[in-house]
């Protein structure tokens, strides 16, 4: 049996990569999105800057799951998500526990997005080798 679900709900989201922002700025952007009625706030799960990854100048991006935990505690209605979380950066059991914790802090507002990863320099710089599918 096939069940087809059709939704006519329009969901508005704001995506903010954490590059160049400190936590106070990310929190203010997310709170503003929540206040004006956005349904979803996402941020990327990158360990290094995507723009000019070889330079050390400027602010390093905030870590995704720590940022989401802080935003979960600071907000009350907006759904939160990584866009998307790379499973190769953390052991699956640890990633599951992190996501569960953010979901608990947010009272069930987490949307879990997961992917294989693609940024070779990032894998090599933080994991020692490029292996997004292992």
Query: Is the model's pLDDT at 30 over the cut of 80?
Result: yes
Residue 1 lies in a domain: no
According to the model, what pLDDT value does residue 71 have? 98
User: Which spans in 11-91 are helix H?
Assistant: 23-35, 64-74
Domain count for the chain, please give it.
1
Residue 10 lies in a domain: no
Residue 8 lies in a domain: no
Residue 132 lies in a domain: no
Residue 9 lies in a domain: no
Composition of the chain by helix, strand, coil, percent to 5: 35, 10, 50
Domain extent for 90: 15-50+57-127
Residue 4 lies in a domain: no
pLDDT digits (tens, 9 = 90+) for 57-102: 666 788 899 999 999 999 999 999 998 888 778 888 999 999 999 9
């Amino acid at each position: 049996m096939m069940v087809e679900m059709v939704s006519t709900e329009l969901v508005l989201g704001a995506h903010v990569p954490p590059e160049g922002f400190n936590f106070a700025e990310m929190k203010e952007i997310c709170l503003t999105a929540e206040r004006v009625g956005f349904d979803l706030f996402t941020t990327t799960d990158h360990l290094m800057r995507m723009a000019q990854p070889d330079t050390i100048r400027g602010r390093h991006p905030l870590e995704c799951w720590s940022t989401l935990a802080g935003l979960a505690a600071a907000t009350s209605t907006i759904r939160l998500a990584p866009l998307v979380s790379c499973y190769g950066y953390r052991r699956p059991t640890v990633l599951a526990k992190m996501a569960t914790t953010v979901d608990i802090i947010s009272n069930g507002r987490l949307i879990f997005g997961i992917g294989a990863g693609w940024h070779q320099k990032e894998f090599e710089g933080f994991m020692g080798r490029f292996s997004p599918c292992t």
